[in-house]
Amino acid sequence: MLLYIVYALWFTGFETQQAQQQLRQQWQQQVGASTGEDAQPPGGAETAAPPAGGEADTEAVPTGEDRDAGQGEDGDAGQARDASRDGLEGDAALAKMEFVRPGTAATPVRSDPLFVVDGVGYNDLTRGPGRYPDTALPGEDGNFAIAGHRTTYDAPFYDLDELRQGDEIHITDRSGTEHVYAFAERRIVEPTAAWVLADEPLDGATATLTLTTCHPRFSAAQRMVVFAELVSR
């Protein structure tokens, strides 16, 4: 049991750190080279491993056929989105995500950028946060939805509860365009709450970023969901 805990919390974190480093290098070569962007973590900060504990493998809520009737988006539209991912090839990152608290040097959630992969399957989330299939792309109208682990696999969303009013989430797409989302609200929901992936989960918001992770820490009993609204693209 102790060996399993060591594996689940420390070795898996090392595995994801390596995957994120590879994604960062690919990003710098494929995106940063054309935009002059520096994809290295601020100050070369290392990511600390999460504290001891354990949780289930999935941080996601149901997708595709599991969504509530009338809550999902049109299948043709989703296929069109997946077919137009700005030249995404192989295992490259779909987007870069950074957390910002304007007016301060503090960086909530993570001090280093996170590179978002496309998909929320088991293997996808071992590499970092992942975009839910058929949800919007960065900066698009609709709901750009991302799942991420909270304790295992480097725990990219371990401190997701730190976000508060005034915080921003900056998403850079593969064209090098930065899209700014402002924190709107946080909710705790059941794992089956597929409505959070709907095109407009927030009333009056046409372009939304949704982040999901397990809640509480070291448990998969519920999901923490953070909503943010697009304010600049």
What are the extents of the domains in the chain? 2-232
95 SS3 class: strand
Paired with 182 in beta bridges are 168, 229
Q: Going by CATH, does the domain composed of 2-232 fall within 3.40.630.30?
A: no
Give me the amino acid identity at 192. Answer: T
Closest by Cα among 129, 125, 137 to 110: 129
Q: Which tokens hold the place of 12? A: 């898996």
Of 100, 134, 101, 98, the C-alpha closest to 116 is 98
- Using alpha carbons, select from 141, 146, 105 the residue that is nearest to residue 127: 146
Q: Which portions of the chain are predicted below pLDDT 70?
A: 1-10, 33-58, 62-87, 89-90
Please give the Cα distance from 214 to 59 (Å, whole number). 5
Full-model pTM: 0.80
Phi-psi region of 69 (alpha: psi -120 to 50; beta: other; left: phi over 0): beta
Q: CA distances (Å), 57 to each of 22, 71, 133, 168, 186, in order?
A: 22, 25, 18, 28, 22
What are the pLDDT digits (tens) for 64-95? 434 332 333 334 444 445 544 555 766 899 99
Q: What is the pLDDT of residue 60?
A: 84
Instruction: Give residue 193's pLDDT.
Output: 97
- pLDDT of 63 reads 55
